[in-house]
Amino acid sequence: MKQTKLAIIGAGGLTGKELTGLLSHHPHFQLVHITSNQVDGKHIRDVFPELSHLPDLVFQKHDTEIPKDVHIVLATPNEVSLEKAPEFLKEGRKVIDLSGTFRLHDQVKFEKAYQFPHTKFDMMDQVVFGLPELFREKIKNANFVSNPGCYATSAILPIAILGNLRKNIRGPVVVDAKSGVSGAGGRTEEIKFAYTHVYENFRAYKILSHQHEPEIEEYAFVGSEPKEILFTPHLLPVYRGILSTIYIQFTNPVDPKEIQEKLQAVAEKEPFLRLYKTPEEIEIKKVQNTNFLDLGFKTKGNTLVLVSALDNLVKGAAGQSLQNLNLMFGYPENLGLVSI
């Protein structure tokens, strides 16, 4: 059986751990190298006991030499991806980057959102944005894929699949999103993401300044006139899952039958998009530990409300990266993500 060898740089984080678990069930990918500067030298079973069934993997430092036939998943902070992605591409490897470093094509917007200078912006013409529902054919031929953000995926897809209906959108689109701590920065030891600060609590953060806002603006309107996005994220007292409520105003009254037909046509051909009859049916618990994005809508006059939900660690990160890896290496797109 054909085996494609992979390394996860930054496998000690939440997303790296999630992808490691997914790859353990994949018949064609072999994880041969994992890194973490924080836990280098430790066996994976000592760091993640629940993954003790995996091969004899030991964490190494990020700069450890990697065999030439191994391809790369970067699950590293933005600044590390900026340094490492060009190096691995120069060595002839395929690379998926899960950070936000290579998502935005406007350098000014990037540096404002991420607060550091982008010194490799000339590489942006090599990158494919890793949202299969929008860029599947490009991903199949890509050597360098930038995996979307979790919040961004939950908002981009519902808007983008409206297709030509987007031309009648009036004014800014409001995205009101709620995430569990694993999708909102809980990968750090910052006190604001500690259990005592999220339990029996609920709050907004990074209002009108979240780095996913320009990402949503860039990709939700591909092939259409861009619109302003007003994005507010909130922190839920749960571990995983994102639910986004998207408010769209149109120039004319909205025909719910037309919206239904448009969304249904897309959902029927997409393996990980599920359309429900009502938005009230969309729940985080239905998507946890899956690669699905669930979607429902309701209309009133000129207003369309879309509600979406996904697991930020799966469809919002590791699962979507595996979906992209399958496409890049010619395997069935849903292999390792659903039982087939």
Q: Which residues are catalytic?
A: 150
Helix spans in the chain (H): 14-23, 44-47, 78-90, 107-114, 132-140, 150-160, 195-198, 212-219, 256-267, 319-328
Identify whether the C-beta of residue 118 lies closer than 8 Å to the C-beta of residue 101. Answer: yes
Cα–Cα dist 234/212, whole Å: 13
pLDDT at 56: 81
| Amino acid letter, 215 | E
User: Tens digits of per-residue pLDDT, 121-172?
Assistant: 999 999 999 999 999 999 999 999 999 999 999 999 999 999 999 999 998 9
Q: What is the value of pTM for the model shown? A: 0.95
Strand ranges for the chain from DSSP E:
4-9, 29-35, 59-60, 70-74, 95-97, 128-129, 144-146, 173-179, 203-204, 229-235, 242-249, 273-275, 293-300, 303-310
From first to last of the 340 residues of the chain, give the pLDDT tens digit: 679 999 999 999 999 999 999 998 899 999 999 999 999 999 998 999 988 777 689 999 999 999 999 999 999 999 999 999 999 999 999 999 999 999 999 999 999 999 999 999 999 999 999 999 999 999 999 999 999 999 999 999 999 999 999 999 998 999 999 999 988 764 444 556 666 678 899 999 999 999 999 999 999 999 999 999 999 999 999 999 999 999 999 999 999 999 999 999 999 999 999 999 999 999 999 999 999 999 999 999 999 999 999 999 999 999 999 999 999 999 999 999 975 4
DSSP 8-state code for residue 318: I
- Identify the CA nearest to 186 among candidates 148, 236, 152, 146: 236
Query: Helix H segments across 26-77?
Result: 44-47
Q: List the beta bridge partners of residue 298.
A: 305
CA distance 89 to 143: 8
User: Residue 297: CB partners within 8 Å, gap ≥ 6?
Assistant: 256, 259, 260, 263, 279, 304, 305, 306, 307
**45: its two tokens:** 């079973």
Q: String of b and e for 303-340 (b: at least 16 CB within 10 Å)?
A: ebbbbbbbbbbbbbbbbbbbbbbbbbeebebebbbeee
- Alpha carbons 46 and 66: distance in angstroms, whole number: 22
Q: What is the pLDDT of residue 195?
A: 67
